[in-house]
Amino acid sequence: MELLTTDEMARADELTIADGTPGFELMRAVGRAVADAANDLAEEGPILVVAGRGNNGGDGFVAAAELAAQGRDVSVILLCDRATLKGDAALAAKGWKGEVLPCDPSLIGSPALIIDALFGAGLDRPVKGDPKVMIDAINASGVPVLAVDLPSGINGNSGAVMGAAILATETVTFFRPKPGHLLLPGRSYCGKLRVIDIGINDGVLSRIGPKTAENNPDLWQDAFPLPRVDGHKFTRGHAVVLSGDIAATGAARLSARAALRGGAGLVTVASPRDALAVNAAALTAVMVRPIDTAEEFAGLIGGKVNACIIGPGAGIGARTAGFVKAGLAAKRSLVLDADALTSFADAPDRLFDLIKADPEAEVVLTPHEGEFSRLFSDLSEESETQSKLDRVAAAAKRSGAVVLLKGPDTVVASPDGRAAIASNAPPWLATAGSGDVLAGLIGASLTQGVPAYEAACIGVWMHGEAGSEAGPGLIAEDLTEVMPAVFRRLYDRLGIPY
Ligand SMILES: NC(=O)C1=CN([C@@H]2O[C@H](COP(=O)(O)OP(=O)(O)OC[C@H]3O[C@@H](n4cnc5c(N)ncnc54)[C@H](O)[C@@H]3O)[C@@H](O)[C@H]2O)[C@@H](O)CC1
Ligand SMILES: Nc1ncnc2c1ncn2[C@@H]1O[C@H](COP(=O)(O)OP(=O)(O)O)[C@@H](O)[C@H]1O
Ligand SMILES: [K+]
């Protein structure tokens, strides 16, 4: 599903209004949807609506009137003087026939549910003073909260907490989710997210042209590689994974096994001679070749090889950088992870220039935050004006590669401006070697000819699903072993027979 920035959402509203649906109609649809969600969350007991001065507050007034008409016991707290409300919000407040209470936290009481309609997309500065006191008091009350559009205080574009934010039980948003619903910390403040149809036609999307999406199969199913009936292992492609020295071979083996499990037809570990026996003893379906130098590596991948995974356990320095250069020179699809990235920390532009020299290059960089800041030091910090999404998008543009920044909200960005945010990764994926498996899974799709952006998105999503499938207590080795179950669930979801 597409994600809309707050500006893009405002544009969707404008286009819908221009096409003949009055803005107040949209607000009424929102208010009714909020009332439905409130009834689901609290079947009985009093409901308190806390409204702000903008249209988010207007949604709150519509919901309050709707719930009262259904016989619910509703009260409303308003952040400002009722007489100062404007436009649709003022119209909505007129429809509320009850009392309006002032912004005093002692009036919260102990309702069954609080509807948070303080701020939505219009939040444009840090929350201070009265609204902050109110938000803190709502959070401290222990009462379940239904947030309208966004938990108040969460920035819809970045997911940042602007001073203070409502910790919602559930959030109802409209038409399409916003990046702030998926990016941390915003996602953690939303509780369960409901996306409601309020009568905005999907046709407006082609006029808006959103570039950001949620990372799930809807985004990449057309690119997902399926084995052909008349195929053989070479049609599924050959991946080469570079091994580290004798003390650091496990990471490459994890990547190699993941590449094979992920669907590569053949996988070879390129191993230093001193580690050959260790690798050979530990591998079965994955092949091993003795490779000590970048020249030997170039020779190996110059043959029938589609993609290379370089970095896991590879060692930091000129040697690994030389293998990366060989991979780029051979025009193979590449996953550059871990040490392959850090090996360019002293001169990242050298790497980017090499990547950009071939506009057709299919290269995925897979840093975690530490590696990311080594390559993109000026993009290492999140700020009010620079979300994780902005940082990764800028990194992709600068490097000429698809960049994936790991975490609970892994972002994949393409130099052409597309970006995807994943929200399916469970926290127990944060375990040694998990990233090596991710590199292998991305390599699996690249090997089968999937373009870098889709390959990265597919790998991230499958990795998250594998984490859920293996469950708490998993170690990296488990991720590769649950891949058949992940494939089966995906095939079922896409309606592909097997
Ligand atoms: N036609 C539309 O545009 C629709 C808008 N809808 C609702 O309208 C919301 C957006 O409405 P608005 O643009 O009026 O914005 P909001 O209602 O989110 O808030 C804007 C108001 O809050 C003030 N404000 C912003 N940050 C503040 C802070 N930190 N401290 C104190 N005051 C602050 C602004 O000055 C402005 O007065 C959406 O989130 C959605 O809930 C829906 O009703 C659907 C239709
Ligand atoms: N809190 C978290 N929730 C979900 N996934 C996480 C979390 N922390 C890390 N991950 C995922 O775990 C993997 C860790 O990769 P990485 O840091 O490279 O580890 P390693 O180098 O040990 O393989 C990444 O895919 C990352 O997105
Ligand atoms: K809100």
Q: Give the pairing type, strands 411-413 and 419-421.
A: antiparallel
The residue contributing the CA closest to ligand 1 atom 13 is: 122
d(Cα 159, Cα 148) in Å, to the nearest integer?
15
247 with 150, same domain?
Answer: no
Model confidence at 384: pLDDT above 80: no
- pLDDT band for 385, please (50, 70, 90 cuts): confident
Any atom of ligand 1 within 6 Å of the Cβ of 30: yes
412 with 292, same domain?
Answer: yes
- pLDDT band for 259, please (50, 70, 90 cuts): very high
d(Cα 264, Cα 256) in Å, to the nearest integer?
9
416 with 319, same domain?
Answer: yes
92 with 222, same domain?
Answer: no
Any atom of ligand 1 within 6 Å of the Cβ of 148: yes
353 with 389, same domain?
Answer: yes
Q: How many CA atoms lie within 13 A of 237 on its CB side?
A: 24
What digits encode the pLDDT tens for the residues 74-125? 999 999 999 999 999 999 999 999 999 999 999 999 999 999 999 999 999 9
Any atom of ligand 1 within 6 Å of the Cβ of 53: yes
Atom of ligand 1 nearest to the CA of 58: 43
CATH number where 481 lies: 3.40.1190.20
Mutation to probe ligand 1, out of 123, 134, 384 (largest number of atoms < 8 A from CB): 123
> Which of 182, 210, 238 delimits the end of a domain?
210
d(Cα 6, Cα 123) in Å, to the nearest integer?
10
What digits encode the pLDDT tens for the residues 358-381? 999 999 999 999 999 999 999 998
Q: In terms of residue numbers, what domain contains 360?
A: 217-494
- Answering whether pTM is above 0.95, one says yes
Q: 116 to each of 24, 61, 158, 182, how far by Cα in Å? A: 19, 11, 20, 19
Predicted pLDDT at 382: 83
> Which of 210, 241, 267 delimits the end of a domain?
210
d(Cα 488, Cα 6) in Å, to the nearest integer?
37
- pLDDT band for 208, please (50, 70, 90 cuts): very high
Q: Where are the alpha helices (DSSP H) in 80-126?
A: 87-94
Predicted pLDDT at 350: 97
Show the ligand 2 pocket: residues with CB < 6 angstroms.
338, 368, 406-408, 410, 425-427, 429-430, 432-436, 438, 463
Mean pLDDT of the chain: 97
45 with 77, same domain?
Answer: yes
247 with 169, same domain?
Answer: no
Q: Give the pairing type, strands 307-310 and 238-242.
A: parallel
Any atom of ligand 1 within 6 Å of the Cβ of 171: no
195 with 258, same domain?
Answer: no
Burial classification of residue 95, based on how many CB atoms lie within 10 Å of its CB (0-12 exposed, 13-18 middle, 19 or more buried): middle
187 with 334, same domain?
Answer: no
Tokens of residue 108, six digits: 């919260």
CATH number where 68 lies: 3.40.50.10260
Predicted pLDDT at 447: 98
146 with 244, same domain?
Answer: no
CB 49 within 8 A of CB 81: no
Predicted pLDDT at 409: 98
Ligand 1 centroid to Cα of residue 55, in Å, is 5
Q: 139 to each of 116, 151, 164, 191, 427, how far by Cα in Å? A: 11, 11, 10, 13, 24
Residue type, position 240, single letter: V
Q: What percent of the chain lies above the pLDDT cut of 70?
A: 100
- pLDDT band for 496, please (50, 70, 90 cuts): very high
What digits encode the pLDDT tens for the residues 261-320? 999 999 999 999 999 999 999 999 999 999 999 999 999 999 999 999 999 999 999 999
User: Is 407 annotated for ligand binding?
Assistant: yes
Predicted pLDDT at 486: 98
Ligand closest in space to the Cα of 80? 1
80 with 111, same domain?
Answer: yes
**Interface predicted TM-score (ipTM):** 0.95
Predicted pLDDT at 121: 95
CB 70 within 8 A of CB 39: yes
Q: Which residue has the tokens 């405002």?
A: 10
d(Cα 498, Cα 492) in Å, to the nearest integer?
9
> Which of 210, 238, 269 delimits the end of a domain?
210
Predicted pLDDT at 119: 98
319 with 250, same domain?
Answer: yes
Mutation to probe ligand 2, out of 434, 457, 461, 465 (largest number of atoms < 8 A from CB): 434
Average pLDDT over residues 16-43: 97
Q: Give the pairing type, strands 145-148 and 307-310.
A: unpaired
Preceding omega of 427 cis (within 30 degrees of 0): no
Domain count of the chain? 2
